Amino acid sequence: MHTIELIAVTAVVVTAAVRSTWSPCGRSMLASITPLAERGRGHRYGITAAWFVVGATLGGATLGAAMAVLAAGVAAVSLGPTVVAAVAIGACVAAAASDERLAGFSLPVHHRQVNERWLDQFRPWAYGAGFGWQIGNGLSTYIMTAAVYLGIVLGALTAEPVLAVLLGALFGLVRGLGVLLGRRIASTTDLQAFHRRFDALEPAAQLGTVLVVVAAAAVFAWVLSPWAPLAVVATVLAASARRVAAVRVRRTEPVRPSAPRLGAETGA
């Protein structure tokens, strides 16, 4: 792969990890592993958070090991750059369409969450590293974005097993570092205020993920033709324009008063 393609792959992997922070498991960790919660359990937040980051990185490396096997397979069949680019573009399109639910399309996911009973049953290093590993490998818990799948595909397409392992570890590390967002939560007021701000950022995270995936598609399209990225950008702009127009129509539609309920005036 060219350097610019590797940059695009890395950007997708990091973005998938960041977007996954808004998953139910990610939110749960940001409520369960905080200075406030750890103090209540008689534990030190810094130690638990460190174990969580270590576990998440190892979980990502586990995912990377699976990606390395796929990368070795890709290397064995010696796919040409045109084929690699075409497959990457197709994967990017599928991921963006799934996240945007275009025409109702959505890749299959599962909604498994971590077992929060571990918080009361195990020591900090055990639940910290255990939760981290499950979240860091990307596939054990709730899958928030199709960019996770895309990262696996692109990691395999590098045809470099060692690089695939590093990409997986990077994914896990970024996911693990997400727990540090709650490092200043020392009271219930802090907790509530943090999650209000965090929830408000989710639409931007969703949009940013789609834009990074589209940008990656444009990078791989450049391999096929210098003009191909223009077609990708034009398609995205057209789709965005339709979405904006649809939102404006919904906002300008008059609100019709609902029909009175039977018996509302009689007190029935």
Region of poorest pLDDT, from 47-56, 146-155, 209-218: 209-218
Q: What is the mean pLDDT of residues 115-129?
A: 91
State percent of the chain over pLDDT 70: 84
pLDDT mean across residues, the chain = 87
Q: What is the mean pLDDT of residues 49-72?
A: 97
Residue 265 has pLDDT above 60, yes or no: no
- Asked whether 43 and 128 are in contact (CB, 8 A), the reply is no
Scanning the chain, the segments in alpha helix (DSSP H) are 3-19, 24-32, 35-40, 45-77, 81-100, 118-121, 124-136, 147-157, 161-177, 188-200, 202-224, 228-252
Residue 209 has pLDDT above 90, yes or no: yes
Residue 240: per-residue pLDDT: 55
Q: What whole-number distance in Å separates Cα of residue 130 and Cα of residue 53?
A: 10
Residue 261 has pLDDT above 50, yes or no: no
Q: Which two tokens stand for residue 235?
A: 């398609």
- Asked whether 187 and 154 are in contact (CB, 8 A), the reply is no
State percent of the chain over pLDDT 90: 69
Read off the pTM.
Answer: 0.85
Q: Which residue has the higher pLDDT, 202 or 268?
A: 202
